[in-house]
A = this chain, B = another copy of it.
Amino acid sequence: MKLWQLGEGGLLAELERRGLVEGIENDAAELAGGLVVTQDALVEGVHFRLDWLSWRDLGWRAAAVNLSDLAASGATPQALIVTLGAPPHIQLGNVLELYEGLAETQVPVRGGDTTRAERLMLSVTALGHSSRVPGRSGARPGQRLVVTGPLGAAGAAFRRQGYVRPPLRLDEGRELAMHAHAMLDISDGLAVDAGHIAARSSVRCVIDLERVPIAAAADLADVGFGEDFELLAAVDRETSFTEIGRCEQGEGVELRLHGEPYRLGGWDHFSA
């Protein structure tokens, strides 16, 4: 079997089933002492195109997608470790801009590696501490699903051949992590990510799309694109965040628009 037949989620599940990795389906690894660690790679031509964003925005993005996983873990970031793979003909000035974009997140780069590569590649590890990591498996029927901000901006930008800077929802993450029963960041699209909570918590996530806040210049289809990096949480009480649905008995995700079933796309790196 080839990777594109299995898909990204299938590969991770197979590795976990065989005991070769532990807890890789969570946004971040939780180690002793409340240490939370996450690692994401950005590969040119797969995750970004250099003609669609500035080097500075690329640096911000590489940090932000990892800090978003820390936010989903309720963590306070402590450091970034950055590996840059770059072709030798790249200009130093561009690389400096990239690291300036990383630095804009205010989380210090405390180590890493640089190496030659045919295509630009950034692998970032973010480390932080959390006193309570909600995880994905604690959602129960009757709980509310809330989201920390508008969705669709990334999809709308992509349609216009561009990117928006992912938001940092660290404060929101810490606030929700104090009581949320499940939480993750919306990176693969609302339907796919709600599906992760549904699968790990053995619940059915029902989402009323008319309640989902839509970003300016975006439309509903853009919500399926992902990469908005807002947090989705299952909570058992009223919060200051927008309620977009609820957990019910059952399985899978049900998207409704004014009560009617509705289908949104999603994203898989190996099959896309």
Contacts and interface: CB of A to CB of B under 8 A. Distances in A.
Interface of A: 1-4, 6, 8, 11-12, 14-15, 18-24, 26, 28-29, 31-33, 35, 37-41, 43, 45-47, 78-79, 81-83, 85-93, 95-96, 99-100, 102-103, 108-119, 121, 123, 125, 127, 269-272
Nearest to A92: B1
A81 B24 CA distance: 9
Given A39-B81, A90-B2, A111 B14 contact: no
Contact of A115 (B6, B8, B28, B127): B8
A269 B46 CA distance: 23
B121 A117 contact: yes
A28 B79 CA distance: 13
Identical chains bound together, number: 2
A116 B46 contact: yes
A119 B78 CA distance: 31
Given A83-B40, A96-B15, A110-B22, A3 B88 contact: yes
Most buried by B among A19, A43, A93, A113: A113
Nearest to A271: B88
Given A43-B117, A127-B31, A111 B23 contact: yes
A12 B2 CA distance: 38
A48 to B, nearest CB: 12
A177 to B, nearest CB: 18
Nearest to A109: B21
Shortest 10 CB-CB contacts between residues of A and residues of B = A29-B111, A4-B88, A123-B123, A20-B99, A29-B110, A21-B109, A125-B125, A116-B269, A39-B81, A1-B92
Contacts of A127: 31, 35, 37
Given A22-B109, A47-B115, A86-B270, 14 more contacts: A3-B86, A8-B114, A15-B99, A19-B103, A20-B99, A24-B109, A26-B111, A29-B81, A31-B110, A39-B81, A39-B125, A41-B123, A46-B116, A85-B121
Contacts of A18: 96, 99
Contacts of A6: 92
Contacts of A33: 33
Contacts of A23: 110-111
A109 B24 CA distance: 8
Given A46-B115, A116-B272, A270-B116, A85 B41 contact: yes
26 contacts: A1-B91, A2-B90, A2-B91, A3-B87, A3-B90, A3-B92, A11-B95, A15-B96, A18-B96, A20-B100, A22-B110, A22-B111, A23-B111, A24-B112, A28-B111, A31-B78, A38-B81, A39-B113, A41-B83, A41-B121, A46-B85, A46-B115, A46-B116, A83-B123, A114-B270, A116-B270
